Structure 1
């Protein structure tokens, strides 16, 4: 089973490197459906997994000056308190009980579907915003929308471990359509570090992290992400995203049914 976990971490790492989609959209459903890990433990373990892997990505983007730190601060103002409140909610109602596990399972399914929408329609959203510059937010309204987006993502990530990748990047593109793609990626990764760390600490407090499982996943994912990133330019992005969207839709349906 340990080898299976390592190989799974490697496979998810390759897909994340190839597509840029957050590992939570892939890892959490994989743990829940394929290995029978309870939804709450799958979420907690994946959050710890994400908090470790995103640190390296943030350092890389920082060295390349592709992080918009003001936007990171605004997102964190909303996301971090929301993560704490979501953790307290899980503590109050019992993160490991059957009913909350079912809610988490449906939350994972909903988050996966949001990821699919982000994958399929991000380009159309950007094109529409570029064609209608008068619809783009400015000044205080933009700052407030960024904080609200952070709060929404903070809640979503804490409950389902999904949202800080494709969904977060899509929201940033919609709010900041003129921001370069590399800066979108860097900013999305940077704000996710404190968010996933706080959410992971909360799940540690709740007792919903499997540390042995986390270690085996990391052993496979680190080389997987490296290989996927190196191979990304050789594989047509449109094809990959289509396959991934189809797979994730099937996963969401399986989680609900």
Structure 2
């Protein structure tokens, strides 16, 4: 059953680029896995599938190093802060579950909003407004520093947030082309997953047996999803995943009431 779960989530990641941690962590919790173990094990799964999917897709020039440097460092500090909270026992499993539900609900709403506004921005590729590389001479882009920190902290606590939340902030605070935003964010979220995985591994929150059941099937699923993405439009599936993430958040909230 776990192999099927790993394959299905990997397939969605390869097909649409979204849905990894936002689906895997709540599903593991609903399967009865401890929230701490679910977060740590999902980070191992997310890092493996995301890095493999990125290599398969070969995003090439869809990467902006200045943006990566601007958001990655604060995010790593956020992960370190989360590690300190975990190591000192300041975060319990109830807090993980509630925070996860809140992040999933916000992520699903932002995904709905971004799916509507990104089409407008994509149509402006020929405009000068959207053809510049990332630059940090505008005061509003400095909001990305605390955003990066918060996203890193959330990744450490819930394993979710490195994709949707950071992408939404960059799309709305910079004039960088959406394809370069997505490519850079994939690299950043992969880094966050790696650092948070090391942290949770040191805390004993990674179930290696569970991870070995999920990861191989997830890699196969992401590869098949990549080839399927060439033959179909993932738009409808993205909306279905968004609805599923929102539903998962409500199920988790209901279980705690």
Question: Is structure 2 residue 220 aligned with structure 1 residue 228?
Answer: no
Single out whichever of 119-128 and 105-114 deviates more from structure 2: 119-128
Contact 2:57 2:226 in 1 (8 A): no
**C-alpha displacement of 1:60:** 5.5
1:120 aligned residue: 112
Question: Is structure 2 residue 189 aligned with structure 1 residue 197?
Answer: no
Tell me the distance in 2 between the aligned counterparts of 1:18 and 1:63. Answer: 15
Question: Is structure 2 residue 43 aligned with structure 1 residue 43?
Answer: no
**C-alpha displacement of 1:61:** 6.6
**C-alpha displacement of 1:62:** 6.7
Tell me the distance in 2 between the aligned counterparts of 1:47 and 1:89. Answer: 18
Deviation by residue 1:53-100 (Cα, 9 ceiling, x = unmatched): 3333454577712211111111112100110001110111265xxxx1
Which residue among 114, 139, 142 is the counterpart of 1:141?
A: 139
Contact 1:61 1:67 in 2 (8 A): no
Question: Is structure 2 residue 184 aligned with structure 1 residue 176?
Answer: no
Contact 2:9 2:19 in 1 (8 A): no
Deviation by residue 1:196-234 (Cα, 9 ceiling, x = unmatched): 111111111211110111111111100101111221244
Tell me the distance in 2 between the aligned counterparts of 1:174 and 1:26. Answer: 25
2:96 aligned residue: 104
- Cα–Cα, structure 1 residues 17 and 89, in superposed 2: closer, same or farther, change >3 Å? same
Gaps of 5+ in 1: none
Tell me the distance in 2 between the aligned counterparts of 1:180 and 1:231. Answer: 22
Deviation by residue 1:97-134 (Cα, 9 ceiling, x = unmatched): xxx1011011111111122112211044444897xx7x
TM-score of the superposed pair, with normalisation by structure 1 = 0.86
1:151 aligned residue: 149
Contact 1:158 1:199 in 2 (8 A): yes
Report which of the two has the higher share of helix: 1
Tell me the distance in 1 between the aligned counterparts of 2:191 and 2:234. Answer: 29
Tell me the distance in 1 between the aligned counterparts of 2:152 and 2:19. Answer: 15
Tell me the distance in 2 between the aligned counterparts of 1:157 and 1:218. Answer: 19
Equivalent residues in 2 for 1:20-31 (5 A)? 20-31=17-28
RMSD between aligned residues: 2.5
Tell me the secondary structure at the aligned position of residue 149 of structure 1: helix
- Cα–Cα, structure 1 residues 106 and 70, in superposed 2: closer, same or farther, change >3 Å? same
Gaps of 5+ in 2: 130-134
1:255 aligned residue: 252
Tell me the secondary structure at the aligned position of residue 88 of structure 2: helix
Tell me the distance in 1 between the aligned counterparts of 2:6 and 2:171. Answer: 28
1:167 aligned residue: 165
**C-alpha displacement of 1:13:** 0.7
Contact 2:71 2:148 in 1 (8 A): yes
